[in-house]
Amino acid sequence: MVRDEQLSSDGLATIDEAVRAEWPTGEAATVDDAIAFHEGLPPSKEFATVLESATEPLLQPRAGVARLDEQIELLTYLEETGEADLLPTTIDSYTRDNEYGKARTGLEKTRESDADALNGFPAVNHGVDGCRTLVESVDGPIEVRHGTPDARLLAAVTLAGGFQSFEGGPISYNIPYTKRGDLATTIEHWQYVDRLAGVYTERGVRINREPFGPLTGTLVPPSIAIAIMIVEGLLAATQGVRSLTLGYGQVGNVVQDVAALRALRALGEEYLPNEVCVTTVFHEWMGGFPPDEARANGVIGLGALTAAIARPDKVITKSPQEFQGVPTKEANAAGLRTTRQLLDMAMEQRLDIDGVESEQDLIERETRSLLEAVFEHGEGDVARGAVRAFETGALDVPFAPSESAKGACLPARDDDGRVRLFDFGDLAFDDEIKEIHAARLERRAETEDRSTSFHMVADDVDAISNGRLIGRPS
Query: Which residues of the chain form contacts with ligand 8ZB (CB under 6 A)?
Result: 62-64, 90, 119-120, 318, 322, 325-326
Give min distance, CB of 322 to ligand 8ZB, in A: 5
H helical segments located in 311-381: 329-346, 356-377
DSSP codes of every residue in 217-229: SSS--HHHHHHHH
Give min distance, CB of 325 to ligand 8ZB, in A: 6
Considering beta carbons, is residue 325 or 473 the nearer one to ligand 8ZB?
325
Give min distance, CB of 119 to ligand 8ZB, in A: 5
Residue 167 sits at the vertex; the CA angle it makes with 161 and 168, to the nearest 5 degrees, is 130
End-to-end CA distance of the chain: 51
Query: By the 8 A CB rule, do 38 and 164 touch?
Result: yes
Q: What is the number of alpha carbons within 13 Å of residue 448 lying toward its C-beta?
A: 22
Give min distance, CB of 36 to ligand 8ZB, in A: 31
Considering beta carbons, is residue 70 or 415 the nearer one to ligand 8ZB?
70
Give min distance, CB of 84 to ligand 8ZB, in A: 12
Q: Which uninterrupted H or E stretch holds 167? A: strand 165-167
Considering beta carbons, is residue 64 or 211 the nearer one to ligand 8ZB?
64
Query: By the 8 A CB rule, do 312 and 281 touch?
Result: yes
Considering beta carbons, is residue 81 or 119 the nearer one to ligand 8ZB?
119
Query: By the 8 A CB rule, do 88 and 126 touch?
Result: no
Backbone phi and psi for residue 66, each to the nearest 5 degrees, phi listed first? -65, -50
Distance CA 245, CA 229 (A): 9
Distance CA 67, CA 118 (A): 9
Considering beta carbons, is residue 337 or 443 the nearer one to ligand 8ZB?
337
Backbone phi and psi for residue 318, each to the nearest 5 degrees, phi listed first? -115, 170
CB atoms near residue 447 (< 10 Å): 13
Between strands 87-90 and 243-249, the pairing is unpaired
Considering beta carbons, is residue 63 or 235 the nearer one to ligand 8ZB?
63
Interhelix angle 356-377/382-392, nearest 10 degrees: 100
The residues that are catalytic are: 96, 167
Give min distance, CB of 1 to ligand 8ZB, in A: 30
